[in-house]
Each structure stands twice: as C-alpha cells, then as structure tokens.
C-alpha cells in the first residue's frame, strides 16, 4: 500500500479514536473493542470489502451487541452496527431500532452506527422512532466510513 494511502488510514484511525474518546458515556472496555473494530474497518478499506456487505464482528462478545452478529444472545448496554455498500440501509436501521427499542429496551443505552453510505430519506422516515429512543436515554452516534475518512454526523 502506498505511503499516502497508509497515512490516510492512520488519520482515519485517529479520527475514530477521537470520536469514541469524546463520548462521555464510553465504557472502560470500549477502547479495546474499538481498536479491534478499527483494525477491521481499516482492513475492509484496504481490501475494498467496505464496498461489500458488512461481516459479523468476531470480538467484543459478552460486552457488546453487534449487527450483524455471530449469535443471538443477551442484551448489553452498547450496540454497534455496521452497514456497508451492499447492505440494505433501511433494513440495518430497522434492526438497530428493533434491538434498542424492543428486544433490548432499557438495556441498549448507547448505539454506534458505522455506515459506508448515508441515505437521508430513510433516516427521515425513521427519525421519529430515533427521537423517541433518544428521549428514553439512548445515545446514538452515526459515523460515515469511506476510503478517505471517518466522519461523525449529527442528523
């Protein structure tokens, strides 16, 4: 990989660490988890997998709920979802809303949504559901991941 691309990925890594570290509700185990996840995202960018479907995470089990996930199990305070180019954005957002609002209601209090695309018309369609969950204390962090950047957005 050319040095320019590597330095860009390193900048992306620093951006993600900043986003997570600025979150006032981050749990102590989150740093290790997000370092592992960041390595996966960097690898997905390098290999072009960010243009495919997101794969289930193979780490953080027992502390964090994942979408997509390797298994169905207990609810935890943190929910992390990834939605890549070939994933259905509305379906993934629906999975998040079901998980945080029904299946793990009152338990999932922090949601991180990493997406390689943003579909504002879909988000607007579900904005009332998101607002209700926010009013119930669920904190949402929406992060757009591309080959060039990681950007937190505030829809």
> What predicted TM-score, i.e. pTM, was given to this entire model?
0.80
- Closest by CA to 74, choosing from 82, 65, 83, 87, is 65
Q: Which pLDDT value is given to residue 92?
A: 95
Q: Which pLDDT value is given to residue 144?
A: 86
For the chain, the 3-state helix, strand and coil shares in percent, each to the nearest 5, are: 45, 15, 35
User: Hey, where are the domains in the chain?
Assistant: 3-153
Identify the band that residue 137 occupies on the pLDDT scale cut at 50, 70 and 90.
very high
Q: Which pLDDT value is given to residue 58?
A: 58
Q: What tens digit of pLDDT does each residue of 95-136 get?
A: 999 999 999 999 998 898 988 888 999 999 999 999 999 999
Q: Which pLDDT value is given to residue 1?
A: 44
Are 146 and 139 in contact, with CB atoms under 8 Å apart? Answer: no
Q: Which pLDDT value is given to residue 29?
A: 67
Q: What tens digit of pLDDT does each residue of 31-79 get?
A: 677 777 777 777 777 787 877 777 766 555 567 888 988 777 788 888 9
- Closest by CA to 97, choosing from 84, 111, 118, is 111
């Amino acid at each position: 990989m050319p040095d320019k691309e590597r330095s860009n990925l390193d900048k992306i890594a620093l951006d993600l660490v900043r986003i997570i570290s600025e979150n006032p509700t981050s749990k102590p185990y989150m740093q290790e988890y997000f370092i592992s996840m960041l390595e996966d995202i960097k690898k997905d960018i390098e290999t072009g997998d960010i243009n495919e479907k997101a794969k289930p995470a193979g780490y953080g089990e027992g502390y964090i709920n994942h979408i997509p996930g390797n298994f169905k199990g207990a609810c935890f305070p943190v929910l992390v979802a990834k939605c890549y180019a070939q994933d259905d954005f509305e379906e993934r957002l629906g999975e998040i809303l079901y998980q945080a609002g029904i299946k793990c209601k009152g338990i999932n209090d922090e949601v991180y949504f990493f997406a390689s695309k943003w579909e504002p018309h879909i988000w607007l369609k579900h904005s009332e559901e998101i607002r209700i969950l926010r009013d119930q204390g669920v904190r949402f962090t929406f992060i757009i991941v591309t080959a060039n950047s990681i950007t937190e957005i505030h829809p």
